[in-house]
Structure 1
């Protein structure tokens, strides 16, 4: 399973994803949108590629990057499930606490 959160933890990578949300981009377009070096952008692109959030293809001499929204969708649904389970556990604990009436003892 890709570590989407590792990839999304950096603002430069989030900006790259926002660009790709608008459509495929060649590497030069991505590099020109930032005030950092081409090797630095390539490192960010490699992390996104490693996590399979983006894909890379070639058109002649140009590298074209595109978004893989399915990976983000899967991570989003897994996060919702995880948060739901956390909340369910907390609600069960709260229910048990209230049903035992222990909070009344603390108020007295």
Structure 2
């Protein structure tokens, strides 16, 4: 799995993604929504771009950010599969444990 989950682990980055789900935004619009500095927001945007969760394009003098829904969908599907695999292993272990307990009770 990629480090998408590291990128999503921060509340500021999740808020930025929430904003971008409504449509493309300039860096200035994103910065205006927070009480932290422009360089701090830029660091968050860079992390999101490193994981390809958002993309950046330059339009004139503005940087415009877009949500990469396909990447998020892929990460979501990977996480579902990961959880399903974990649960399958746990359920198999539980089944084996119960079956061994029942066979001991039958002998008693």
TM-score (norm 1): 0.91
- Structure 1 stretches lacking a partner, 5+ long: none
Number of residues paired by the alignment?
105
In 2, the alpha carbon distance for the partners of 1:95 and 1:2 equals 32
Residue correspondence of structure 1 range 24-103 to structure 2 within 5 A? 24-101=24-101
Runs of 4+, deviation exceeding 2 Å: none
C-alpha distance in structure 2 between counterparts of 1:57 and 1:23, whole Å: 14
Q: Give the TM-score, by structure 2 length.
A: 0.91
CA RMSD of aligned residues (A): 1.6
Q: List gaps (5 residues or longer) in structure 2.
A: none
CA distance in 2, matches of 1:96, 1:82: 21
Q: CA separation of 1:10/1:86 partners in 2, compared to 1, >3 Å: closer, same or farther?
A: same
Between the aligned partners of 1:69 and 1:3, the Cα distance in structure 2 is: 16
